Chain A
């Protein structure tokens, strides 16, 4: 089903999609999207949606199954609290990508904004994954409780030598893992965190995600793997355990 979204209010657009899904439609192409919020939110079916244009806030929030490909940039709140499914953004994405995400995967080719992966969490086999091809703003993985964030720092706007991660990386993090290609300066880390070189086992863990990233955007895996990766983890299971108990 192809929808021309030009000038269509988000409520009407999402209603159209939802009704079509209920009638069995599984394939959508949205043209001329510009700022419409909440695209594919809460949808539980395995639908595929191609988005042309700039989708608005909270795209893919609470969704459990859809695959969304954005042929352009996305705004803030992509995959907010998403449960299952896959998002690929061929441009950049805004702040709080993967906010409270609990499953599924998000691939962004370019840069992302601030507080990406804030409060991600994992449970048993539900492991949310965010792979960022460009650089990230401050507070990446803030309050992170589980899941995987991989930061490549390679394919964004800024191809200069600037660090891939912003400041306050992983502030309040107490679970999950952040992988950063080429590493990160100690002073950018939040308190109670450490950055260590990855083990061969770690590489086996993230390789499938990197492969998927390369396949999604038609890139060579070799270049991506051409540098060392470092992982950022909390030093202890409860870094803030004594904060309020003196």
Chain B
């Protein structure tokens, strides 16, 4: 594990997220301040952010954020990318020196389009652009030692590493970005190593997940996902949630609320008391997606280009608070993280176990989302 051989410790993580439903963009400075309020929920072994609407100049390109251990890994990853996709623009991810952020991997980003023709390559034939990009990400993460694509959506990006989130935000110069949707994570690794790839968010395409808790069903979820070509390479349970959402929502076409029902379904006893229609739906979801059920304690925020969702496990073993102010919806582990950046919310509430809080962009074609 080399320079990433950090010690294991115990406790919880911190989450924060916000979305402006009208698509108006705010600086990353805001979310950094919010998550910093929950500094003591983490231990400096992981911080990260997901930002949406930040690359309007490349909104039709997949933005690949890549971390590499060394020049060899970078050279190999670049060769693979240039053989597989059209790279319109590439650059180092801009960073600012921060004395608390050390052992930094090589960080680059590539704005790419999939190659139209996969004849003569080892990629499957007739893939959609999204499916093709999923395969590209999986290949890099599985086959190229020391290279990881940690962000692969359009007009969005993940920024993460080992450190407290406020230092990670400074390091990645997030105050220079503006987005309509931000999530943040403060990590306190419990069961898996605190390394750059293991920081949250976990992403695939424009799905990003930040998570507090642990997914006890990781083994079942991981094997289930492998049947559909998703491979878990980042040594941490949370990764499965990103791929499950991609499978359930993008591939299988489930609406978000049904996908949440599959991840955190009601208990059978509760289903028995529902009206007949609801019973049939819940039974069907539990039977078809039994292997997608997330067991164990969790609070997650997941984001995509169209919105932000907060979800708890079925018996609320991790905290989650939500609030609204005008067109903005906030969600966080602690109310103080919301009040730090929104002192006077219109409404504050604690979401119920297993009941998603869904905040969607009102007009996905207009505003800052499209341009």
User: Which residue from chain A places its CB closest to the CB of B340 in the assembled complex?
Assistant: A34
> A111–B350 Cα gap in the complex (Å)?
9
Residues of B within 8 A of A137 (CB): 316, 350, 352-353
Q: Is B4 part of the contact surface with A, judged by Cβ < 8 Å?
A: no
Interface: A65 (CB within 8 A): no
Given contacts A73-B348, A137-B353, contact A56 B315 (CB under 8 A): no
Interface string of A92-110 (1 = CB under 8 A from B): 1011000000000000000
By a CB distance below 8 angstroms, the chain A residues around B350 are 92, 94-95, 111, 113, 137
- Interface flag for A209 (CB, 8 Å): no
Q: Are B37 and A34 in contact (CB under 8 A)?
A: yes
Contact of B337 among A35, A92, A95, A168 (CB under 8 A): A35
Across the interface, do B316 and A10 meet the contact criterion of CB distance under 8 Å? no
Does B335 sit within 8 A of A, measured CB to CB? yes
Q: Is B38 an interface residue (CB 8 A)?
A: yes
Contacts of B321 in A (CB 8 A): 94
Give min CB distance, B50 to chain A, whole Å. 22
For chain A, what secondary structure do more than half of its interface residues adopt (helix, strand, loop), or is it mixed?
A: loop
Chain A residue contacts of B348, Cβ below 8 A: 73, 92
- Let me know if A114 and B339 touch, CB within 8 A: no
Is B334 an interface position by the 8 A CB rule?
Answer: yes
Whole-angstrom CA separation of A53 from B338 in the bound complex: 12
C-beta contact mask, A68-104 vs B, less than 8 Å → 1, else 0?
0000010110000000000000001011000000000
- B37 proximity list for chain A (CB < 8 A): 34-35
B319 touches A53 (CB 8 A): no
Cβ–Cβ < 8 Å partners of A35 in chain B: 37-38, 334-337, 339-340
Bound-complex Cα distance A239 to B316 (A): 25
B316 touches A34 (CB 8 A): no
16 A-B contacts, Cβ less than 8 Å apart?
A34-B37, A35-B38, A35-B334, A35-B340, A37-B40, A54-B336, A54-B339, A56-B336, A75-B334, A94-B321, A113-B319, A137-B316, A138-B316, A139-B315, A157-B347, A167-B270
New contact pairs (9) apart from A34-B340, A95-B350, CB-CB < 8 Å: A35-B37, A35-B335, A35-B339, A57-B334, A75-B319, A75-B334, A94-B335, A114-B316, A138-B315
Residues of A contacting B6 with CB < 8 Å? Answer: none
Give the complex CA separation of A57 and B38 in angstroms.
11
The distance in angstroms between the C-alpha atoms of A113 and B337, with both chains bound, is 18
CB distance from B324 to the nearest CB of A (A): 12
Nearest A residue (CB) for B37: A35
Give the number of residues in B that approach A within 8 Å (Cβ atoms).
22
Instruction: Out of B40, B269, B319, B337, name the residue touching A76 (CB < 8 Å).
Output: B319
Q: Which residues of A contact B123 (CB under 8 A)?
A: none
Q: Which residue of B lies closest to A113 (CB)?
A: B350
Do B273 and A187 touch (CB < 8 A)? yes
Q: How many residues of A contact B (CB 8 A)?
A: 25
Quick one: which of A53, A56, A111, A167 contacts B334, CB cutoff 8 A?
Answer: A56
The reply to whether the CB of B80 lies closer than 8 angstroms to some CB of chain A is no
Q: Which residues of B contact A (CB under 8 A)?
A: 37-38, 40, 269-270, 273, 315-316, 319, 321, 334-337, 339-340, 347-350, 352-353
Complex alpha-carbon distance, A10 and B315, angstroms: 30
- List B contacts of A113 (CB < 8 A): 316, 319, 350
Nearest B-chain residue to A157, judged by Cβ: B349
**What is the distance, in angstroms, from A75's C-beta to the closest C-beta of chain B?**
5
The complex places the Cα of A138 from the Cα of B354 at a distance, in Å, of: 12
- For the complex of A and B, the 5 pairs showing the least CB-CB separation, nearest first, are A35-B336, A114-B316, A34-B336, A54-B336, A35-B37
Q: Give the distance in Å from the alpha carbon of A167 to the alpha carbon of B347 in the complex.
A: 25
Which residues 155-199 in A have Cβ within 8 Å of B in the complex?
157, 166-168, 187
CB distance from A133 to the nearest CB of B (A): 15
A107-135 near B? 1/0 per residue, CB < 8 Å = 00001011000000000000000000000
> Which of chain B's residues has its CB closest to A167's CB?
B270
Taken together as a complex, chains A and B put the C-alpha atoms of A73 and B345 apart, in Å, by 12
B contact residues around A34 at 8 Å (CB): 37, 336, 339-340
Question: When chains A and B are docked, how far (Å) is the Cα of A95 from the Cα of B352?
Answer: 11
> How far is B269's CA from A158's CA once the two chains are assembled, in angstroms?
24
CB distance from B72 to the nearest CB of A (A): 43
Closest to A137 in B: B316
When distances are taken between beta carbons in the complex, the residues of chain A under 8 Å from B352 are: 137, 166
Are B316 and A73 touching (Cβ within 8 A)?
Answer: no
Complex CA–CA separation, A187 to B272 (angstroms): 11
Flag if B40 contacts A10 (CB, 8 Å).
yes
Among A34, A37, A95, A166, the most chain B Cβ lie within 10 Å of the Cβ of: A34
Do A114 and B315 contact each other (CB < 8 Å), given the known contacts A10-B40, A34-B340, A35-B37?
yes
Do residues A53 and B339 form an inter-chain contact, with CB atoms below 8 A? yes
